[in-house]
Amino acid sequence: MSVFDMCIDILPFHLLKLSATNFMIRDDKMMQLVHQNKEPITPFLYKVKTLAKQGISVVLVVGSCGDFFDVADTTIMMDCYSCHDVTGHAKQVAGMRPANGGALAASKLGFGNVTPRCPVGAAFKPNGRVYVRSKSVVNYGDTELDLSGLEQLVSKEQTNAISLALQRLTVLAPQNKMTIFQVLTQLDGLLEKDGIDILSNGQFDGTLARPRTFEIAAALNRLRSSSKQGTFLQLT
C-alpha cells in the first residue's frame, strides 16, 4: 500500500483537533479498567509512531498530556512566542515517570490493515440539485456538504470543481467495484491529460480551479447519502 493510498483511507486523522479524547489517548489505567475488546477505538497515541514507518509525518499540538513524550521524536515548546527544542528535557521527564507501556509496545508494530472502501456511484447523483454557496458549503442533492475543515481550499472556484468531481463519480464508479484510491487516481489522470474542463464536459468554465486530490477525497468522505447502500462499500 502506498503512502498516498493510506492517506486517502485514513484521511479522518486530519480532524484530530475535533476528535473525542479517547480517540487521542487512553492511559494505562483506563486501558486496564476498560479492556480493548470492549473499546472499538484504538487511541492515536498507539498509532502515531507507526505512521512514520509508512512515511507519514505527524505534527501534533499538545497542551495537557505528556504521554506523547514517550513516542515523540522531537518536542518543541513555545515560550514567550519563541520556539525551543526541548526534546532532551521531555525525554528526561518521561524517564522519571512510569512510561505508557502499551503505547511503547504498539509503536514497535505496524500500522495495521486499512480496509479499502468503494464509492457507491449511485450515491453521488445529486439529481440536478447542486449549488455551491461558498468556499466551504455546498448544497449537494438533499445534503449540505460542509468543507470548513479543509484548510487547504483557497477559493470558491476549487469548491466548484470539487462539486463537479463528485458528480463525475457516478460515471467513474458505476459498478461500486473501484476503491477510493483507484477512482481518484483515474480522475487525476483525466485532469492531467485533458485539463480541468473535463469536469464540465469539455466546455470552458472560468469559474473552476483545480483542487488537490486530497481535498476531493476529503469532500468525498464528508458526503452522506440517504441511499440504502450508503456512500461506500467496504471490501472484505
pLDDT tens sequence across 55-77: 888 888 888 788 888 889 999 99
Q: Would you place residue 1 in the very low, low, confident or very high pLDDT band (cuts 50, 70, 90)?
A: very low
Q: Which residue has the higher pLDDT, 10 or 72?
A: 72
Which residues sit opposite 117 in a β-bridge? Answer: 234
Q: Would you place residue 232 in the very low, low, confident or very high pLDDT band (cuts 50, 70, 90)?
A: low
On whether the pTM is more than 0.85, the answer is: no
Q: What value does the mean pLDDT of the chain take? A: 82
**CB neighbour burial string for 201-210, b if at least 16 within 10 angstroms, e if fewer:** eeeeeeebeb
Query: What does the pLDDT average to over 39-52?
Result: 83
Query: What does the pLDDT average to over 33-44?
Result: 80
**H/E run at residue 157:** helix 156-172
For residue range 129-144, list pLDDT tens digits in order: 899 999 999 999 888 9
- The whole-angstrom separation of Cα 112 and Cα 115 is 10
